[in-house]
Amino acid sequence: MSAAQALRLGVNIDHIATLRNARGSAYPDPVRGALLAQAAGADGITAHLREDRRHIIDSDIERLMAAISIPLNFEMAATDEMQAIALRHKPHAVCIVPEKREERTTEGGLDVLSDEARLTDFIAPLAAAGCRVSLFIGHDARQIEAAARAGAAVVELHTGHYCDLHAEGRMAERDNELRDLMGGAALAASLGLEVHMGHGLSFETVEPIAAIPEVVELNIGHFLISESVFMGLDPAIREMRRLMDLTRQAMA
């Protein structure tokens, strides 16, 4: 398999639902967005059912499972409620993310180290049900090692700080963060974990992340949905795919 084919794009459709929920209408429908993303070449769909249902709601997950033919990556908090929903649907993948009701977006990674025993027990039935379990964490080596011990198959490293530093023009700090993400990816792969990355990625920031050889999946949403307002969802996804493939082809 070529390096370009090895890097999957998961399209997060949460913020189609943000726009829908702003008016309480039935449109724009996130499931229609998922089908358009699938037709545009997305390798998977990511949807985050938050405890407060601020964007994706329970029926969206139900309809996504019935509608799409590419994998669904179900993002959720490590709660009994969400575990029951995941076990009912048995999506291709479950990504466990930290949630705080007061946060505007996912601020940090999961603190696996301080919750390792509980997360180990939480992951087991999901893995037994055939879900590929991922933990959304920072690049801290101790968190990566704890994720491997807890039985996760995948870690998704949080790229939000890298993207924020880029946006603020703090390029030396951004490059340091990129180096830390590269180190985290190498450590995770050495521990047998599949390596994903996501949060805040855009056309401007994706290529250095796509160039990290251990990364096999990028989950990107907010920027793609935002860009789709101006250029359409299909062209936005195809442009992101083009940048990712160009980067990987240059590595081959």
Ligand X SMILES: CC(=O)[C@@H](O)[C@H](O)COP(=O)(O)O
Ligand Y SMILES: NCC(=O)COP(=O)(O)O
- Considering only 71, 91, 184, 221, the residue that binds ligand Y (CB under 6 A) is 221
Q: Is 166 within any annotated ligand binding site?
A: no
* Per-position DSSP letters for 39-55, written without gaps between them: HTT-SEEEEE--TT-SS
For 168, other C-beta atoms within 10 Å of its C-beta total 10
Residue 94 to residue 110: CA distance in whole angstroms:
14
**Residue among 1 and 196 whose Cβ is closer to ligand Y:** 196
Piece of 26-34, 48-56, 82-90, 145-153 that binds ligand X (CB under 6 A): 48-56
β-sheet bridge partners, residue 154: 134, 194
- Which listed residue (191, 222, 239, 251) binds ligand Y by CB under 6 A? 222
Catalytic residue among 48, 89, 139, 196: 48
From the list ligand X, ligand Y, none, pick the one residue 31 interacts with, judged by a Cβ distance below 5 to 8 Å according to partner type. Answer: none
Q: Which residue of the set 158, 166, 196, 199 is catalytic?
A: 199
| Binding piece for ligand X, criterion CB under 6 A, among 21-29, 47-55, 145-153, 178-186 | 47-55
Please report which residue ranges of the chain form alpha helices under DSSP H. 3-6, 14-23, 30-39, 58-67, 80-89, 116-128, 141-150, 160-167, 171-190, 206-210, 222-231, 233-251
* Relative orientation angle of helices 160-167 and 171-190, to the nearest 10 degrees: 160
Q: Considering only CA atoms, which of 61, 99, 70 is closest in space to residue 8?
A: 70
Q: Which of 9, 10, 12, 185 binds ligand X (CB under 6 A)?
A: 12
Residues 88-147 within binding reach of ligand X (CB under 6 A): 97, 105-106, 136
Where on the chain is the footprint of ligand Y (CB under 6 A)?
A: 12, 46, 136, 156, 198-201, 219-223
Residues at the binding site for 3-amino-2-oxopropyl phosphate are 12, 23, 200, 221-222
Q: Which residues are known catalytic residues?
A: 48, 75, 199
Residues at the binding site for 1-deoxy-D-xylulose 5-phosphate are 14-15, 50, 55, 105
